[in-house]
Amino acid sequence: MRTMIVAGNWKLNLVSESAVELAGKVVKSAGGDGPEVLLCPSFTLLHTVCEVIAGSRVKLGAQNLFWESKGAFTGEISAEMLLDIGCSHVIIGHSERRQYFGETDASVRRKTQSALLAGLKPVVCVGETLDEREEGSSKAVVEHQVNGALERFKPEDLSNIVIAYEPIWAIGTGKTATPETAQQMHKMIRKLIGNMFGSEISDGIPILYGGSVKGNNATDLFSQPDIDGGLVGGASLDAESFAQIIDAARREPAGD
Ligand code: PGA
């Protein structure tokens, strides 16, 4: 069964007023049916956005967490805190966190584990750099990241995990992977998860594409058999573009 998801990663953007306005528009675009729609604002906006989306189909996610549940870790936020404020999801291991904040496969695994333990659904991000793509090691890099993030989990854990493949060279650059290139990587990731946890798990796990998803390329991307929606940065800040992306996912049949 294919689950389509469109997630908006607002990154370090917006304040209360603009967030309320945008979230209100997203509630309208999400409507009564279609893909799962997820908004991931900054920590400070979680409460505000939670109030706007209450009673709608839109779900709330955070952009990061820390793996400890409490204690002397100034400035950190735990999975329990995210759950408490209304989150159902959390993005883990985004390439910007790996690049600027030193996150590794090991920290991604610990964070994923703490999210699962608390009952949050982790959206685990993987993806290669431009150099890695050019030297032909994309598949090996992504394979290593998927292995590193998911090893030691049990098959039942996997039913609550979402994967996002985001080639770093495509993030915020306007350069989207072609639907065929993205499909190849998604298929490889699904196969790898199948080898690790069995085909029932790999058939059901949503694998999102991220990296310059826009209203005008979402349909071609989402029509690929192994692309189950998108993790959207820039275009999620524009209500109209995000609505087009939701509509593109809505046109995809839910089952396989
Ligand atoms: P982008 O960002 O859509 O702006 O490329 C995607 C992401 O980083 O999740």
The pLDDT tens digits for 158-200 are 999 999 999 999 888 888 889 999 999 999 999 999 999 999 9
The DSSP output letter for 237 is G
Q: Please determine, for residue 69, whether its predicted confidence score (pLDDT) is greater than 60.
A: yes
Q: What is the pLDDT of residue 175?
A: 82
Q: Please choose from 90, 166, 168, 216 the residue to mutate so as to test ligand 1's pocket, defined by most ligand atoms within 8 A of CB.
A: 166
Place of tokens 């994967």: 163
Higher pLDDT, 117 or 171: 117
In this prediction, residues 141-153 reach a mean pLDDT of 95
Threshold 0.85, pTM exceeds:
yes
- Of the chain, the percentage scoring pLDDT greater than 70 comes to 98
Instruction: Give the range among 91-100, 173-182, 202-211, 213-222 with minimum mean pLDDT.
Output: 173-182
Closest approach atom of ligand 1 to CA 171: 5
Q: How is residue 151 written in tokens?
A: 């090893």
| 198 CA → ligand 1 middle, Å | 30
Positions marked catalytic:
94, 166
Closest approach atom of ligand 1 to CA 210: 6
DSSP one-letter string for 96-130: HHHHHS---HHHHHHHHHHHHHHT-EEEEEE---H
Q: Alpha-carbon distance 153 to 156, whole Å? A: 8
Q: What is the pLDDT of residue 176?
A: 81
Q: Please determine, for residue 14, whether its predicted confidence score (pLDDT) is greater than 90.
A: yes
Rg (alpha carbons) of the chain, rounded to whole number? 17
Q: What is the pLDDT of residue 254?
A: 61
Q: How is residue 79 written in tokens?
A: 């999975």
Find out whether the beta carbon of 40 lies less than 6 Å from any atom of ligand 1. no
Q: Alpha-carbon distance 25 to 87, whole Å? A: 19
Q: Please choose from 171, 213, 217 the residue to mutate so as to test ligand 1's pocket, defined by most ligand atoms within 8 A of CB.
A: 171
- Structural contact between residues 123 and 231, judged by C-beta atoms closer than 8 angstroms: yes
Residue whose CA lies nearest to ligand 1 atom number 3: 233
What distance, in Å, lies between the first and last C-alpha atoms of the chain?
6
Find out whether the beta carbon of 210 lies less than 6 Å from any atom of ligand 1. yes
DSSP one-letter string for 4-32: -EEEEE--S---HHHHHHHHHHHHHHH-S
* 188: three-class secondary structure by DSSP: helix
Q: What is the pLDDT of residue 255?
A: 56
Q: Alpha-carbon distance 77 to 84, whole Å? A: 11
Average pLDDT score over the chain:
96
3-state helix, strand, coil in the chain (%, to 5): 50, 15, 35
Planar angle of CA 168, 173, 174, nearest 5 degrees: 120
In this prediction, residues 214-220 reach a mean pLDDT of 96
Q: What is the pLDDT of residue 171?
A: 87
Q: Please determine, for residue 139, whether its predicted confidence score (pLDDT) is greater than 60.
A: yes
Closest CA to 242 of 2, 88, 25: 25
Q: How is residue 36 written in tokens?
A: 């799962």
